[in-house]
Structure 1
Amino acid sequence: MNEGKVKLTTLLLCLLPGVGYLLALFGLPLLRVVYGSFTSNEAGAAALTLDTWAQLLANPVFTDGLWFSLWLGIAPTIVSLMISLPLSALMQANESSRNLFGTLYKIPLVVPGIVAGFLVLIILDRGGMATRLLAPFGIALPRLVRDEWAIGAIIASAWKTVPFMTLIIAGAMASINKDILAAARTLGAGRLTIIARIQLPLAQPGITAAVLLSFIGSLGSYVIPSLLGPTYPLPLSVHMFDEGFKKGNWPMVYAMGTLLSVMAIAVLLAYYAIIGSLGRSKAAKG
């Protein structure tokens, strides 16, 4: 019995630094945000109230902003994934491609997000560089900046996200045992087969981490949607600052932050469910 207690105590002590760090820097602030969303700025209001949530969910400006926030989180992530997956695979092909693409994809890393936004604005806005270059050929670009689909914001977000996503996915692919790839080639597997049936499944943890980080970053972005997005709807990240922080309405800031977090968790759970379903389907076929 004493030996068991000693082992349990040792285990708890080993977990304390990591668990304590998560609780202190993530758990407690998150609880504070959730608690704050049920408070009110109005004098004489109850200690805990649903008034802030009622104002938030009853206002179509905020609900439209929520769905727009999800769009600005999901769309750049999908675009970045479609670019990062083949780019990461190409980097594993040989030393030359690794050196070439390994240098090119890192260039956006040193460019701040607001600078990336201004670059997209200068190039793709009406009267911008792209419009002037294509005008002599009679080619007119569609509206890509401040349009209703926020195409310019998606391009800028993806441009900044691709390097981070590629860095993670390429690292996951590079960690795959080379003997497995050599054995597949020996058995007659082509390059595309190796990518689809070996590299992508084995790199799935890295791909999931890349998707998670990219989605959260795009979901909470403020600068790029403010600069390149439409005037309506605005994402909740912009409303949090303009309607909450600027006006000192902290309960509304907390409520919007909580709602964004809940929706982010829901999207990520859906992602895990889809990945798990695809994995079970492949296993059943195999």
Structure 2
Amino acid sequence: MPKSNDKTIGASSSLLRWLAGVGMIAPATLIVVGLFVYPFMDSLIGSFQNAKSQWTLDNYLYVIDTYHNDFLYTLVICLVSLVLVLALAALLAGWLRLKADPFVEFLFKIPLFVPFVVVGHAMRVFLAPHGTLNSLLASTGWFNPDVMPSVAFSTTGLIVALVWKNIGLTLLLVMGAFRGINSSYLEAARNTGAGGFRLIKDMMIPMSWGTISVAGVLTFTSMIGNFSIPAMLGDAGGSQMLMIDLYYELVYRHDSGAANAIGVVSYIASMGAAIYYVKKVAKS
């Protein structure tokens, strides 16, 4: 009897632990299913259906034929912006690791708290043909204000805005990794004649490559799915980013099938980065 009671108690304890574990993960699981899995599956199914709910590949054929240049344009914008963000974040984080400067650190954390739509509007005003930047340059008398280039509505303006918006989060992640490096390693490198740039390039970056990669994945997926900044700074007469195409198909052409296909294509473009991120998280 005692042994039977022990088994019963052990089974009940195991069941309670299992139920407690399920209860702990249930809210997060429901959020992921409700806000990501269900909408994505609904979009995936809709991308293979026409207006009569018939199964077809016409949506993808239309998207590929109409928006293939925009797809390449989006990838180029995101990759160039990503390289600039990571390079700038690594240099800044390294400098702040070697010479702490709370004011500079605060300045580069400001973008964390600024919404995307505000960034788009601010950059539009700052980089416009007669905006803040050109007005300041013209006030020096070295430039003619009537022939100043417009950075706002161009590829350069898009990249500048995306880099500025994403630098805060990337810097925060990279700086945390750099500050986790044992100071004895840096002191040893200094004793052998390594300067600040060598410490960043040959010590900090290699020792924090996992965190830098994860930061790059998060930044890339944020850029490829951004709408506000391309809507305010994009060139309406040239190539557009994919989220603008999705908006056009959904709002102006009322073609939900094509819009769903664009969304799925965007997801596939970032899926490789997302898989890498999940593997990194699982290993850590």
In structure 2, do the counterparts of structure 1 residues 234 and 129 end up closer, same or farther at CA, with 3 Å as the change threshold? same
Rounded Cα–Cα distance in structure 2 between residues aligned with 1:124 and 1:31:
40
TM-score normalised according to structure 1 size: 0.77
The answer to whether the aligner puts 1:182 opposite 2:156 as a matched pair is no
SS at match of 2:98: coil
Q: How does 1:157-236 map to 2 (within 5 A)?
A: 157-231=162-236, 232-236=238-242
Deviation at 1:188, TM superposition (A): 4.2
* RMSD, matched Cα: 3.1
Query: Matches of 1:105 and 1:121 in 2, distance apart?
Result: 20
After alignment, is 190-199 or 217-226 more displaced? 190-199
Verify the 8 A CA contact 2:174 2:215 in the aligned structure 1: yes
Letter in 2 for 1:125: A
What is aligned with 2:25? Answer: 17
User: What amino acid maps onto 1:250 in structure 2?
Assistant: S
Return the offset for 1:158.
1.0
Residue 66 (structure 1) aligns with: 71
- The yes-or-no answer on 1:52 pairing with 2:59 is yes
- 1:114 — aligned with what? 117
Aligned to 2:153: 146
Partner of 2:135: 132
Of 30, 43, 56, the residue aligned with 2:40 is: 30
1:264 aligns with 270
More deviation, 28-37/48-57 = 28-37
Q: Which amino acid is the alignment partner of residue 30 of structure 1?
A: F
CA contact (8 A) 2:95 2:196 kept: no
Verify the 8 A CA contact 1:173 1:203 in the aligned structure 2: yes
TM-score by length of 2: 0.78
Whole-angstrom CA distance in 1 between matches of 2:115 and 2:37: 29
Aligned residue identity for 2:65: A
**Residues 137, 74 of structure 1: CA spacing in aligned structure 2 closer, same or farther, 3 A cutoff?**
same
How far apart in 2 are the matches of 1:249 and 1:217? 25
Deviation per CA, 1:8-57: give whole Å up to 9, x if none: xx99x96993894655654444333222211111x3x53x2112112212
In structure 1, C-alpha distance between the alignment counterparts of 2:158 and 2:193, rounded to whole Å: 43
Q: Structure 1: which 5+ runs fail to align?
A: 1-6, 273-286
C-alpha spacing 1:110/1:17, structure 2 compared with 1 (3 Å)? closer
Whether the 8 Å CA contact 1:245–1:253 is kept in 2: the answer is: no
User: Do the aligned residues in 2 keep the contact of 1:69 with 1:237 (CA within 8 Å)?
Assistant: no
> Conserved in 1, the CA contact under 8 Å of 2:89 and 2:171?
yes
- CA contact 1:221–1:237 (8 Å) conserved in 2: yes
Moved more, 168-177 or 68-77: 68-77
Please tell me the residue identity of whatever aligns with 1:54: L
Structure 1 residue 222: deviation in Å?
1.1
Q: Which has more radius of gyration?
A: 2
What is the aligned-residue identity percentage? 24
Question: In 1, distance between residues paired with 2:119 and 2:233?
Answer: 11
| Separation (CA, whole Å) in 2 of partners of 1:17 and 1:206 | 25
Cα 1:134–1:24 shift into 2, 3 Å: closer
- Residues 38 and 192 (structure 1 numbering): CA distance in 2 closer, same or farther, change over 3 Å? same
* Distance (Å, rounded) in 1 between the aligned partners of 2:271 and 2:153: 28
For the residues of structure 2 that align with 1:181 and 1:17, how far apart are their CA atoms?
41
Seen in structure 2, the aligned counterparts of structure 1 residues 145 and 192 have a Cα distance that, compared at 3 Å, is: closer
Alignment of structure 1 residues 268-283 onto 2, 5 Å: 268=273
Write out per-residue CA displacement over residues 179-202 of structure 1, whole angstroms, 9 at most, x where no aligned residue: 332333344433333222221011
Code of the aligned partner of 1:212: V
Residue in structure 2 matching 1:254, options 257, 260, 264: 260
- Distance, in Å, in 2 between the alignment partners of 1:189 and 1:130 is 38
Which residue is equivalent to 2:126?
123
SS in 2 for 1:214: helix
Is the contact made by 1:117 and 1:227 (CA closer than 8 Å) also made in structure 2?
yes
8 Å Cα contact 2:50/2:59 also seen in 1: yes
